[in-house]
Amino acid sequence: MRRQITHPGSGQLRYMIREIVEFGRKVQALGRPIIWENIGDPVRKGEAPPDWIRAIVGELAAGEESYAYSDTQGVPATREFLASRANDRLEPASTTGNGERPGVESGARIDADDIIFFNGLGDAVSKIFGQLRAQARVIGPSPAYSTHSSAEAAHSGYEHLTYRLDPDRGWLPDLDELENTVRYNPSIAGILIINPDNPTGAVYPRDVLERFVEIARRHNLFIICDETYAHVVYGGAHETHLNQIIGDVPGIAMRSISKEVPWPGARCGWIEVYNRKSDPDFDGYVESLIAAKRLEVCSTTLPQLAIPRIMGDPRYVEHLDTRNAEYDARAGETMEALGGLDALRVNRPRGGFFITPVFDAGALPPDGVLPIEEPDIRALVEEKVQSAEPDARFVYYLLGATGVCVVPLSGFCSQLDGFRLTLLETSDDVRSRALQAIASSVQEYCSAARGRPAVEEAALARD
Ligand SMILES: Cc1ncc(COP(=O)(O)O)c(C=O)c1O
């Protein structure tokens, strides 16, 4: 080309969750049935929304309004409904004896104008980072959800900046490290939190979230909190929403119907903006998000119309509770299958759809293999692992040998070796086969690093 046309950040656009599919399909084409454990789509795993939700969508599809454009920020009645739900989450403002409000309130109230709809949070993520000045960086968790980390890296043209989530402390963030990085890196303008987290399944306690807010307040930063899984919480964890604790710090919460309805194909998510007017620069930035959306006219109308009818229905809470109980039971099953393995550290998830076992240091042999009988599949895997990270090597062998498709942790902007699988499989039989295949493959693959065959190890364990 006369001028170079590729954006300098284009190399940062990686999404291993879907990249692995390409390889999985090749293995499938050679005759191996695949158990897809890579993507967080409950519908693909057999969990379509219940009939009453589908009836609402059907009625709306029969009406005229669904076929029209909506306002740029989204359907006004839906934004009012969501703003009032957000405000309902706040504790009543405490007052002093003489009726005055004390100091800074812990919560932030919003109205319909503080809500902006997008075509899924994927769209929101690309606008949020796309509209940010390239020199203004947002630090996010590692492991990272790749849509955020790739978009932030691409906007800045550098590798994504991260703070560490610690698998030895239930995947809690290292907040001292975060504050140090923020202190010595003046380009950092914002902190990204994902709560409940993808891929770790951690749900942050209120005091941890409050510390994030304190750091943001001390260093004059804004907060982005991805709350996609805010209502997918179980195992005794409590949901704390950003608007309950953000006080006067500028912030954005990202929410979606993809996972909780679940309706990922609707491509419908929204952001709630807190304390927009507290800082003129933040205010201008939010205006630029709306302007970017205006160029596209608006987001899809039908799912927005459905939100108040679905979420306002008395059956919705029960629907969420039933699903959460299922995820909790599957988290327990997965812990039973993988939690006791020598080579792995596994934290029980308390929210979201995922569990991410981490390999102990030194557990992965650099030249590890799993037996694959079919020569064509073996050749495909052997070629693929030539330049693979150690955990990706395990994942490709697992896929070739057993058909179970998980995602390597190195694909989530992480220095740790591990893999992510879902809690979504609805068939008891398929789930149990997948877990057994993963457990025996981990043992077999890692036995080479310990210098003994897996069978002998198992015998030793029994003795
Ligand atoms: C943490 C997180 N944020 C955002 C998204 C994107 O969701 P949406 O379907 O709304 O684009 C996902 C999807 O998996 C996710 O896990």
**Domains of the chain by start residue, with CATH:** 10-46+317-462 (3.90.1150.10), 65-91+105-311 (3.40.640.10)
Give 344's pLDDT tier (boundaries 50, 70, 90).
very high
**pLDDT at position 12 over 70:** no
Looking at residue 94, its pLDDT comes to: 52
User: Quick one: which atom of ligand 1 is closest to the CA of 198?
Assistant: 1
Cis peptide before 141 (omega within 30 of 0): no
pLDDT, one tens digit per residue, over 286-311 is: 999 999 999 999 999 999 999 999 99
Cα–Cα distance list, 395 to 20, 277, 373, 400, 403 (Å): 9, 47, 17, 9, 10
Cβ(201) – ligand 1 distance below 6 Å: no
**pLDDT at position 101 over 70:** no
Best mutation site among 145, 194, 260 for ligand 1 pocket (most ligand atoms within 8 Å of CB): 145
Cβ(447) – ligand 1 distance below 6 Å: no
| Nearest Cα residue to 298 out of 81, 113, 115, 117 | 117
What does the pLDDT average to over 202-215? 97
Cβ(120) – ligand 1 distance below 6 Å: yes
Looking at residue 13, its pLDDT comes to: 57
**pLDDT at position 99 over 70:** no
Alpha-carbon 431 to chain mean position:
21
CB atoms within 10 A of CB 72: 17
Percent of the chain with pLDDT over 70: 91
> Rounded to two decimals, what is the model's pTM?
0.91
Cβ(412) – ligand 1 distance below 6 Å: no
Looking at residue 316, its pLDDT comes to: 98
Whose CA is closest to atom 4 on ligand 1?
Answer: 121
What does the pLDDT average to over 325-342? 97
Task: Give the mean pLDDT of the chain.
Answer: 92
Give dist(CA 108, CA 100) in Å, integer.
Answer: 17
Phi, psi of 345 (to 5 degrees): -110, 125
| 296 CA to centre of ligand 1 in angstroms | 21
Alpha-carbon 85 to chain mean position:
23
**pLDDT at position 100 over 60:** no
Cβ(226) – ligand 1 distance below 6 Å: yes
pLDDT, one tens digit per residue, over 15-41 is: 666 678 889 999 999 999 999 998 889
| 413 CA to centre of ligand 1 in angstroms | 16
| 228 CA to centre of ligand 1 in angstroms | 6
User: Quick one: which atom of ligand 1 is closest to the CA of 256?
Assistant: 10
At 371, which amino acid appears? Answer: P
| 124 CA to centre of ligand 1 in angstroms | 10
Cβ(171) – ligand 1 distance below 6 Å: no
Give 461's pLDDT tier (boundaries 50, 70, 90).
very low
What does the pLDDT average to over 154-181? 95
What does the pLDDT average to over 131-138? 93
What does the pLDDT average to over 157-178? 95
Looking at residue 397, its pLDDT comes to: 97
* Cβ(358)–Cβ(446) below 8 Å: no
Looking at per-residue pLDDT, the higher value among 91 and 437 belongs to: 437
What does the pLDDT average to over 117-132? 94
Cβ(260) – ligand 1 distance below 6 Å: no
Give dist(CA 303, CA 252) in Å, integer.
Answer: 21
Cβ(198) – ligand 1 distance below 6 Å: yes
pLDDT, one tens digit per residue, over 34-46 is: 999 988 899 999 9
**pLDDT at position 350 over 70:** yes
Whose CA is closest to atom 3 on ligand 1?
Answer: 228
Cβ(143) – ligand 1 distance below 6 Å: no
**pLDDT at position 432 over 50:** yes
Cβ(264) – ligand 1 distance below 6 Å: yes
At 114, which amino acid appears? Answer: D
pLDDT, one tens digit per residue, over 241-257 is: 999 999 999 999 999 99
